[in-house]
Chains A and B, each alone.
Chain A
Amino acid sequence: SAVISQKPSRDICQRGTSLTIQCQVDSQVTMMFWYRQQPGQSLTLIATANQGSEATYESGFVIDKFPISRPNLTFSTLTVSNMSPEDSSIYLCSVEESGYEQYFGPGTRLTVT
């Protein structure tokens, strides 16, 4: 399976600032996704990161708040903009492999104070 890394692994940020999370995959993948996991909750899909085009956002998530880049088939970034304490979560990227299994990065634990 693909090896996925995320940076940073965790961060503590001030309200009103922005944080960009990086996701790197060790092989080329077509489908990349960003999820959020709030404390004690399940995973919620934020968006599908499309290479060469704009990301596709799920209901409740907008580009101005969560801009996503996907410059190539091995890399994506998610920015959490104008953060508030409600944005405190674990943010995870994932990839879908050719057998349709979906694998996840280790996550970025974000705390907003």
Chain B
Amino acid sequence: SQQGEEDPQALSIQEGENATMNCSYKTSINNLQWYRQNSGRGLVHLILIRSNEREKHSGRLRVTLDTSKKSSSLLITASRAADTASYFCATEMTGGFKTIFGAGTRLFVKA
């Protein structure tokens, strides 16, 4: 079963604009991770944020976590055509080791 729900399901923006994707989950978590998947290829790990953290940055990526609302967001600033991909959030639930994936957001960046 999927733990996370992401919105929007699909997002189309112009190059240079910012892209924001949201993830909501249902149960308490140890951490939340974001991944990128280019069409037909493997998953690239982007960033992990722990349950006691509220914000993390990595290059053009900014991730926030609000455990009271059970939600997270991924912001990609100054998007590029190469950012076109599917983005997934994945949560490791408290008390376990397994990581459950959300449905994903398909991002299309137009050059």
A residues adjacent to B (C-beta < 8 A)? 1, 31, 33, 35, 41-45, 48, 58-59, 92, 94, 96, 99-107, 109
Contact = CB atoms under 8 A, between A and B. Distances in A.
Contacts of A45: 98-101
29 contacts: A1-B45, A31-B97, A33-B98, A35-B101, A42-B101, A42-B104, A43-B101, A44-B2, A44-B101, A45-B98, A45-B99, A45-B100, A48-B97, A92-B42, A92-B43, A94-B99, A96-B99, A99-B48, A100-B30, A100-B31, A100-B92, A101-B48, A102-B45, A102-B92, A103-B45, A104-B35, A106-B41, A106-B42, A107-B41
Task: Name A's interface SS.
Answer: strand
Contacts of B41: 106-107
Contact of A102 (B1, B50, B99, B103): B99
Q: Which 4 A-B pairs have the closest CB atoms?
A: A104-B43, A106-B42, A43-B101, A42-B101
A1 B45 CA distance: 10
- Size category of the binding interface on chain B: 20 to 34
A48 B100 CA distance: 12
